[in-house]
Amino acid sequence: MPDKPLIVGIGGTIGAVSSTERALRIALDAVEREGFATRLFGGEDMARLPLYDPRATSRTSQEREFVDAVRKASGVIIASPGYHGSLSGVVKNALDLLEETAKDERPYLADMPVGLIATAYGWQATGSTIAALRSIVHALRGWPTPFAAAINTQVTQFDDQGGATDPAVVEQLCLIGRQVARFAPLVERTSS
């Protein structure tokens, strides 16, 4: 039996409780319901990645694991907190590491559907963070899904059971997961 196609989740914050990572998990759960395998690189995983140095001649096991997972992926979901109007440093550092794929047959996020989630304590940073993520995904040759979730954590709280206080937010996150899952089979056709 062939392996299930893989969708990689990238996002979260360094710290004990991350609304961003909880939102990402809801989207990845929707991907799994569509029959895909998932791999989450959360805040703790990204915190283990050293600052990206393009001149480095070797990579840590954590860096190799991350890059290898993205290489195998049929789609990606990126979730970032809005820090000072843009994405967090740990998320950006992880995305910078994808430079390791520059000479691959399928470089960066080429031809992959990429779902986007931004969380912030207020509305202003959610919009600018989504815009920054879209620009980065385009630069990495990926296809941002039509819908992106902007979540104001002043209004919506997440719980330990995989839910949120606003059912509409849960549905938005599930929509992102479903869109990535529905567009992912196109990757298989174009990369063969």
What pairing do the DSSP bridges indicate for beta strands 73-81 and 37-41? Answer: unpaired
Mean of pLDDT values over 76-85: 94
pLDDT at 90 over 60: yes
**Alpha-carbon span 145 to 191, nearest angstrom:** 19
161 band by pLDDT with thresholds 50, 70 and 90:
confident
The per-residue pLDDT for range 20-33, each reduced to its tens digit, is 999 999 999 999 99
Say whether pLDDT at 1 is over 50.
no
Alpha-carbon distances of 89 from 3, 30, 58, 61, 191, rounded to whole Å: 33, 27, 22, 20, 31
Residues 6+ apart with CB under 8 A from 154: 121, 122
Which pLDDT does position 160 carry in this prediction? 81
What is the predicted pLDDT for the residue at 98?
A: 98
> Quick one: what percent of the chain has pLDDT higher than 90?
81
Q: What pLDDT is recorded for position 187?
A: 66
**135 class by beta-carbon count within 10 Å (0-12 exposed, 13-18 middle, 19+ buried):** exposed
- pLDDT value of position 17: 72
How buried is residue 59: exposed, middle or buried, by Cβ count under 10 Å (0-12/13-18/19+)?
A: middle
Strands 6-11 and 113-120: unpaired
- Mean predicted lDDT score pLDDT of the chain: 92
Q: Return the closest-CA partner of residue 35 out of 70, 75, 71, 78.
A: 75
**pLDDT at residue number 188:** 57
Mean pLDDT, residues 69-84:
96
pLDDT at 190: 46
Pairing of the two strands 37-41 and 6-11: parallel
Q: What is the pLDDT of residue 21?
A: 94
pLDDT tops 90 at residue 157:
no
pLDDT over 50 at 135, yes or no: yes
Average the pLDDT over 111-115 and give the result.
96
User: Does 117 score more than 50 pLDDT?
Assistant: yes
Instruction: Identify the pLDDT of residue 2.
Output: 59
User: Mean pLDDT across the stretch 39-52?
Assistant: 96
